[in-house]
Amino acid sequence: MNLAIKIGNATFPNPVTVASGTFGHAEKYFNLEEVKKLGAIVPKTVTLLAQKGNPPPRIVETPSGMINAIGIENPGADSFITQKLPMFKKIGVPLIISILGHSDEQFVSLINKFNVVDGIAAIELNLSCPNLKHKVLVAQDPASTARVVGQLKKISRYPIIAKLSPNVTDISEIAVAAEESGADAVSLINTFTAMAINTKTRRPVLGNLTGGLSGPAIRPVALHMVYRTAQRVKIPVVAMGGIMSTNDALEFLIAGASMVAVGTFNFVNPRAPLEALEGIKAYMKENKIKDIKELIGSLKI
Amino acid sequence: MEKIQNKFRVVSNEKLCPRFYRLSLDAKSLVKKIKPGQFIHIRVEDSLEPFFRRPFSVYRAQKNAEIFYEAIGPGTKILSQKKKGDELDILGPLGNSFALPPKGTKTVVMVAGGIGVAPFLIFSDLLKDKGYDLILLYGGRTKGHVFNMKDFKKNGCKVFIATDDGSVGVKGRVSKLFSKIPLDSKATYLYTCGPNPMMAAVQDFARQNHLSGQVSCEEVMACALGACLGCSIETKSGYKTVCYDGPVFDLDEVVFH
């Protein structure tokens, strides 16, 4: 059975990964032999400089999901590379490094820093970031997405995956812009902008007022966005958005995703990605599918 | 992940007073590992409502692993319906634990508000034979929040109670009981757990009287594994996660608002 997926010149042993920001302290808590089975690991987004994150409260539970406003708390690229990356490398699973720049220059500096680091499979651009003088995020504008992806693709040693925001009219437009400017893959979806109000105090529940909605609540919308995008681009689509189970993962693969990431549901069941992987294998065996590529985009209409 | 994620069966789930329940789990592997102050993260039901697991301080770990909780929200209400033999998916033990008092400590004072009393029984199990004078100051809202504290007394704790409405013990907040705390900064050491305003009052009292101690914090948690950074609180050295850096912090370290 062949489960391997290629993105640019990187090969992943299977299509199951974790969404950025949802993977915990592997060494302390997890059975590493199990974690080694994942197709890829995506650590939390790294910025050029350290970010202390948003004031608490940072999360709120919602129907079938959550809203988070963590604020990309991270130690900055240099500390990440010296202090965290060695631990991730030791796991032995291909690493997709998620980066976010607050300007094109910061993105360029980040790429330059990771270009001189070995042992990375690919770079994911978190494009839900500020955009020069524009009011919208990079991921909300096809031209800005093309500008950022194009610049970084030219200088990056590693394949580039553009992570897209669902807070747009037509996400496939942005995906096409990313593909045309050289992205090796697109990943979608990031979270939906959302909020919650404490009616007793009439204050926002989150310290940041707004946050991002994730979890199974958004899955059917994510599935449609992935389907629509996979119809329009030839590069691989990495899908995330409320995936909890084998069946969820299969839906996204059939809709056209080449890889699937478990995100928020890791917080409920840390074994969910491995259970989904085992389930995909069982499904392939049962349906006599020898290569995962036969399953990808196999929707019958 | 078998290391921390397991299924355990409920041995008993009983009401100890009108507001509080004690749930016992047949969880030998947990009992062996748990240190006082640590918590477990329970999936109360295999469904999407409520979505998150729920974190609970361990109340006792002797024959079984026990938690002590108030049935107050959707998660704990479901938990209160669990019967003997029901199976629960549990992550744990998680987080750090209480550190022993510094050398020279003669009196250990535990200041608890409501369900915040939970980690102090297992802690007094550890401290009981170490020669300290143990004092528990307990504040509850009403007599419905006061339970039989014989297990604490058996461990040698002197127990003082305050209720907001005066229905049991002294009328008022637990701060009405601060007069029971010996004001000797070398010999008295504090531990506190409860609502934030109460812990802030303990912190103020400690600063005014040059006492030190530790605080066990609570926050809404998603992963409880230090991954999501959702349960962060403000400390003197920046944001720290309650689940991974805590739940126990130096009393002086936490910034209460």
A184-217: pLDDT as tens digits: 999 999 999 999 999 999 999 999 999 999 999 9
CATH level 3 topology of A5-54+70-192+213-295: TIM Barrel (3.20.20)
Q: What is the DSSP letter of B230?
A: T
Q: How far is A249 from chain B (nearest CA, A)?
A: 17
Are B55 and B40 in contact, with CB atoms under 8 Å apart?
yes
- CB < 8 Å to A68, chain B: 222, 228, 230
| Domain ranges, ordered by start, for chain A | 5-54+70-192+213-295
B256 → chain A, closest CA residue: A56
Lowest-confidence pick of A88-92, A249-253, A255-259, B107-111: A88-92
CATH level 3 topology of B107-212: Rossmann fold (3.40.50)
CA B110 to chain centre: 10
CATH level 3 topology of B217-257: Dihydroorotate dehydrogenase B (pyrk subunit); domain 3 (2.10.240)
Predicted local distance difference test score (pLDDT) of residue A148: 97
Predicted local distance difference test score (pLDDT) of residue A33: 80
First to last CA, chain B: 37
Predicted local distance difference test score (pLDDT) of residue A297: 98
What SS3 state is found at B137?
strand
Average pLDDT over residues A31-55: 93
| A58, A62, A84, A244, best to mutate vs chain B, most B CBs in 10 Å | A58
Predicted local distance difference test score (pLDDT) of residue B154: 97
Instruction: Look at the block and give the residue holding tokens 């989150």.
Output: A206
Percent of chain A with pLDDT over 70: 98
Predicted local distance difference test score (pLDDT) of residue A133: 64
Q: What is the largest CA-CA distance in chain B?
A: 51
Q: What is the CATH number of domain B5-94?
A: 2.40.30.10
A85, A129, A138, A189: the active-site residue = A129
Predicted local distance difference test score (pLDDT) of residue A129: 77
Tell me, yes or no, if the two domains B5-94 and B217-257 fold the same way.
no
Percent of chain A with pLDDT over 90: 92
Lowest-confidence pick of A83-87, A233-237, A254-258, B248-252: A83-87
Q: Distances from the Cα of A103 to the Cαs of A111, A130, A141, in angstroms?
A: 13, 7, 15
Per-residue pLDDT at B93 exceeds 60: yes
Among the partner-chain residues A29, A52, A271, the one whose CB lies closest to the CB of B225 is A29
| Domain ranges, ordered by start, for chain B | 5-94, 107-212, 217-257
**Do A61 and B50 count as a contact with CB atoms less than 8 A apart?**
yes
pLDDT digits (tens, 9 = 90+) for B96-126: 999 999 999 999 999 999 999 999 999 999 9
DSSP string for chain A = -B--EEETTEEESSSEEE-TT----HHHHS-HHHHTTSS-B-PPPEESS-B--PPSP-EEEETTEEEE-----B--HHHIIIIIHHHHHHH-S-BEEEEE-SSHHHHHHHHHHHHT--S--EEEEE--S--TT-SS-GGG-HHHHHHHHHHHHHH-SS-EEEE--S-SS-HHHHHHHHHHTT-SEEEE--PEEE--EETTTTEESSTTS-EEEESGGGHHHHHHHHHHHHHH-SS-EEEESS--SHHHHHHHHHHT-SEEEE-GGGGT-TTHHHHHHHHHHHHHHHTT--BHHHHTT----
Annotation marks residue A192 as catalytic: no
Q: Distances from the Cα of B196 to the Cαs of A223, B94, B143, in angstroms?
A: 42, 21, 21
pLDDT band at B1 (very low <50, low <70, confident <90, very high): very low
- CB < 8 Å to A267, chain B: 52-53, 222-224, 227-228
- Regarding pTM above 0.90, the answer is yes
In DSSP terms, which residues pair with A16 in a beta bridge? A260
| A32, A47, A59, A271, best to mutate vs chain B, most B CBs in 10 Å | A59
Mean pLDDT of the residues in chain A: 95
**Do A64 and B49 count as a contact with CB atoms less than 8 A apart?**
yes
pLDDT band at A32 (very low <50, low <70, confident <90, very high): confident
**Do B231 and A21 count as a contact with CB atoms less than 8 A apart?**
no
Per-residue pLDDT at A29 exceeds 80: no
